[in-house]
Structure 1
Amino acid sequence: MAFIKRQLADAKRAMPSVVIAGAGLVGALNACFFAQKGWDVSVYEFRRDIRTMKHVQGRSINLALSQRGKSALEAVGLKEYIVNQGVPLYARLIHNKDGKTYNRQPYGKPGEHIVSINRRHLNEVMITQAEKSPNVKFFFEHKVKSVDYDKKQLVVQCTSQPSRIPQFGSKSPPAEHEEFHVDADLILACDGAYSAVRRSLMTIPRFDFSQEYIEHGYVELNIMANNNEFAFEENVFHLWPRGHFTLIALANRDKTFTVTIFAPFTEFEKHMSTTEDVLSFFEENFPDAYQLLGKEHIADTFNRVKPQSLVSIKCSPHSFFDNLVLMGDAAHAMVPFYGQGMNCGFEDCLVFSETLEEQGNDIANAVQVYSERRVNDAHTINDLAMYNYEELKDLVNRNSYKLRKKFDSIMNSMFPKSWIPLYSMVTFTRIPYSEVIERRKKQDKILSSLLTTTSTFALIGAAIGIYLNRGKLGF
């Protein structure tokens, strides 16, 4: 018995350690994964514990949970609970400018859907889940400052208010806490689009980085419940495409809708800079939403809130020093127009967990293999997210787009495994993003050949018809 206890104690001491920068969505989910593996987990987060905060700063555009995110949550036992906390969305509902007519576009096959999720609640659930493990520790109000290259350690500083009581022998209390170093077998940088870890790596030779702020910004509003009922149909993604700007609305479990307007900053300046202008703009372009949002709410929101920017970030590689990995927005911040930011970040966690297992928990090999697998996929979904905004704000109303969706649907019904529509591959499968694009290119090539062949046959048929009827036609 003593021998068994000693073996268990040795095994516990032998478990690797991981330090995670950031307790946001990706950091918290990684904590769940490594808690499950039995590793010693330390998470450092700049903010206070969001579970104790009345309001949480930062982007709050509603999240759309799809297959990649669901698969990651399922791996840590949270999928069923989280999905049940959201609102299923089965189609886009396109609102026409008259405010009275609509166009419904199903997402995929009957039953296929995404789930509208509240960002804060999801984050809180994952932190709480990870903390159930005795080997997981969250350090809130601790800012990750950088990485020490030589020691392969995180540099951290506590940001809570230091004691103002002078220490014995000192003239005055410290202005701030001293920095300290954190050592671990594995470092996961999940500290967001403006990652301090990534910033400290910028001088490393052959580290590629690109950042692009798009010309569009966004402002978020809310439609309240109507007599404790949804004011709009709840199980659809509401969309008001208007060419170079668009409005979206997603339902919440509390019967409200989170509404977001995306527009060029020049549009905000020209047409939404005064109360009179913004009310006129909403009434003209989104009359049905205007009625439900209400004049006071629109005016108050635009008086308080300035349009927020949207950034797309790419970098390569995603791993360094044989023990550090960039994940989530720290590796691939993307614009929100494909609903894949969270899903891609969650899939990062799952792919890395799978890679570790494949490599027999050899950290050095795993981080290298992970980066080789993930960089191209991350770049691909960044580009797709940029493209999808063109679809959301304009293409969905074009006949060519509707015909292509219909064609893809017919082909998918005939060839369900070999012809999957682009949106379905991204949203309802775990096909690697880079492979999704290759498949789409093959589909486009086949379609182009079909159109060319069809056009040729039509031309030949027309020519034969004209020849046979040349007398009647006066030729």
Structure 2
Amino acid sequence: MAQQPITLIGGGLVGALLAQQLAQRGFAVEVFEKRADPRRAGFIGGRSINLALAERGLQALRSAGLADDVLQHAVMMRGRMVHDLDGNSALQRYGVDDSEVIWSVSRGTLNMLLLDTAEAAGVQFHFGQSLIGADFDAQRIRMADATGVERDLPFGMLIGADGAGSSVRAAMNAHSPLGERIESLGHGYKELEIPPAGELPAAVLRLSGGRDQFALEPHALHIWPRGGYMCIALPNTEGSFTVTLFLPAQGEAPSFATLPDADAAAAFFSKQFPGLLSLIPRFNEDFDTHPVGTLSTLYLDRWHLDGRALLVGDAAHAIVPFHGQGMNCGFEDTVVLANLLAAAPDDSAEVFAEFQRVRQPNANAIAAMALENYVEMRDSVADPHYLAKRELGALLAARAPHHYMARYRLVTFSHVPYVYALERGRAQDALLEQLLRESPQVADIDLDAAVRLLQSSLPPLPVLRHG
């Protein structure tokens, strides 16, 4: 079927799923991954932030026949459990019921499942192989193994699925500038861990509200919003939680610059996150040994070099993690690209151009929404006006489900393009603001009149294609 073999750099989540998708459609695919095979060497991640799997990613996994297997290794999260400074907590659901949830999955477990499935489809993997250069005119790449031994190899189509620090992108940019812009958020993150409940004192557990093997409510993404910064915790299947502290990197307190060691950080936690510090028995060790991760958004003017090379996933459009959509967006990429290539296997230049035309506006849209969601998570979830808009939106969605769906639900539980979700969300938000300006209390709003205004102002929603 394919006139050219496909050389794919990167055997992580997007690379492994894309390889499987392409092999399913009859392409000969070779994957080169710089790390050792995690199924033999053990998973060694870069970023280990838990991954939030939502409908877009699940749909891609369904096409690979993997969704059920993955969900067996995932923990359902119904919504945000918001913890205030007084130690109180309340659940803000993501969707209308348990048909609209997201799933906390282990990056390592998911990667290994994807590798197995891709190999079963006929993909050839080469581990411990780093791209150190590319000659795009001769269509050859230079690879180095873990011992430093180098070799030159030909390629037909070259696809870079090698993440935000992509070597393929660097090689393409050196050959022909891609218009790369990296915008730092100015905030960083550090990971800590709440162990399974069995490893914590009974007195601590009684105060935390956990159950079974979990020290906290397991079916929620926990947030401690504090204005310009926050902590979050996501559940793992074995009963632990991965805790992530997000703070400004520099500047006045609080910032990572003002927390030089675990003692300073522990004092900060005891004041700002009551009850959380006691759930992290290895706090000092975690804080002093885990690095501060960086948070940036990547923008490129061009994702491809005619029909010779293409970037996908984080290599093309890395985003900050605050909408839980980075992996889901990358997984969407794989299905779109595989279908385009299957339809025109002999015209990679046209396929790559069409892939960018379709996906780039959507990548830019989710990048914008992820940045906005950071502000929402760290601040707005505790803001009375935000809560009023959320309440009013839920009432409109119940009364006029074909005309109103919260932006978060459009992004997370449907397949509509991210661009549509962004634009529709802005239009709906403007309508909510208008209604609350006229009646600041939701109880005072004439809902029948509000529904009429909604239906006259906005067209019906498209078919949302759940499941």
Fold match (TM-score > 0.5)? yes
* Aligned: 1:159 with 2:130: no
Query: 1:107 Cα deviation (Å)?
Result: 0.3
- Aligned to 2:184, the other structure's residue is in SS state strand
How much does 1:57 deviate? 3.9
Distance (whole Å) between structure 2 residues aligned to residue 131 and residue 230 of structure 1: 35
2:119 matched residue in structure 1 = 131
Cα deviation for residue 39 of structure 1 reads 1.2
Aligned residues of 1:152 and 1:321 also touching (Cα < 8 A): no
Unaligned runs of 5+ in 1: 1-10, 162-175, 456-475
Q: Is the 8 A contact 1:271 1:281 kept in 2?
A: no
- Separation in 1 of the partners of 2:61 and 2:359? 19
Identity of aligned residues (%): 33
> Tell me, what secondary structure is at the counterpart of 1:302?
helix
Deviation at 1:271, TM superposition (A): 4.4
Instruction: Describe the shift of the 1:401–1:328 C-alpha distance in structure 2 as closer, same or farther (beyond 3 A).
Output: same
d(CA) in 2 for partners of 1:245, 1:449? 29
Hey, what does 2:74 align to over in structure 1?
86
How do 1:167-206 and structure 2 match up within 5 A? Answer: 176-184=148-156, 186-203=157-174
2:247 aligned with 1:275 = no
Q: Deviations over 1:66-88 (max 9, x none)?
A: 01100111111001110121000
Partner of 2:183: 212
Structure 1 pair 405/180, CA: closer, same or farther in 2 (3 Å)? same
Once residues 312 and 432 of structure 1 are traced to their aligned partners in structure 2, the CA distance between those partners, rounded to angstroms, is 20
How far, CA to CA, are the matches of 1:231 and 1:396 in structure 2? Answer: 23
For normalisation by structure 2, the TM-score amounts to 0.86
Is residue 60–residue 332 contact of structure 2 (8 Å, CA) maintained in 1? yes
Unaligned 5+ segments in structure 2 are 199-211, 441-467
Write the mapping of 1:384-395 to structure 2, written as runs, cut at 5 A: 384-395=369-380
Tell me what 1:45 maps to: 33
Contact 2:393 / 2:432 at 8 angstroms: preserved in 1?
A: no
TM-score between both structures, scaled by the size of structure 1? 0.85
SS at match of 2:197: coil
Q: CA deviation at 1:257?
A: 0.7
Correspondence 1:230 to 2:218: no
CA deviations on 1:232-285 (whole Å, 9 max, x unpaired) are: 110011110011111111111111111111111233445422332111111111
After superposition, give the CA deviation of every residue in 1:203-239 in whole Å (9 maximum; x if it has no partner). 5667322102221111111111112711111001111
**1:415 CA displacement:** 2.3
Larger Rg: 1
Deviates more, 1:112-121 or 1:201-210: 201-210
TM-aligned CA deviation for residue 454 of structure 1:
6.4
Contact 1:221–1:301 (Cα < 8 Å) also in 2: yes
Q: Separation in 1 of the partners of 2:49 and 2:135?
A: 34
Partner of 2:288: 303
1:254 equivalent in alignment to 2:211: no
1:264 aligns with 2:251: no
TM-superposed CA distance for 1:120, in Å, is 0.5
Q: Contact between 1:18 and 1:41, CA under 8 Å: does it hold in 2?
A: yes
- 1:443-469 Cα offsets, whole Å, 9 max, x none, are 2343455456769xxxxxxxxxxxxxx
Residue type of the alignment partner of 1:368: A
Change (3 A) 1:360 1:415: farther
Pair 1:103-2:90 in alignment: yes
Q: After TM superposition, where is structure 1 displaced by more than 6 Å over at least 4 residues in a row?
A: 452-455
> What amino acid sits opposite 1:272 in the alignment?
L
CA pair 453-237 structure 1, distance change in 2 beyond 3 A: closer
Distance in 2, Cα, partners of 1:358 & 1:408: 41
Over 3 Å counting, the alpha-carbon distance change for 1:416 and 1:204 in structure 2 is: farther
SS at match of 1:418: coil
Tell me the residue number matched to 1:473.
Answer: none
SS in 2 for 1:345: helix
Q: In structure 1, how many angstroms separate the alpha carbons of the residues matched to 2:427 and 2:36?
A: 49
Matched, 1:22 2:10: yes
**Aligned letter for 1:255?**
G
Aligned to 2:163, the other structure's residue is in SS state: coil
* Equivalent pair of 2:132/2:144 in contact (CA under 8 Å): no
Mark the CA change 1:17 to 1:418 in structure 2 (over 3 Å): closer, same or farther: farther
Instruction: Say whether the 8 Å CA contact 2:43–2:108 is kept in structure 1.
Output: no
Shift, 1:346, TM fit: 0.6
Q: Is the 8 A contact 1:87 1:234 kept in 2?
A: yes
Partner of 2:209: none
Q: 3-state SS of the aligned residue for 1:202?
A: helix
Distance in 2 (alpha carbons) for counterparts of 1:286 and 1:447: 32
Q: How does 1:350-365 map to 2 (within 5 A)?
A: 350-359=335-344, 362-365=347-350
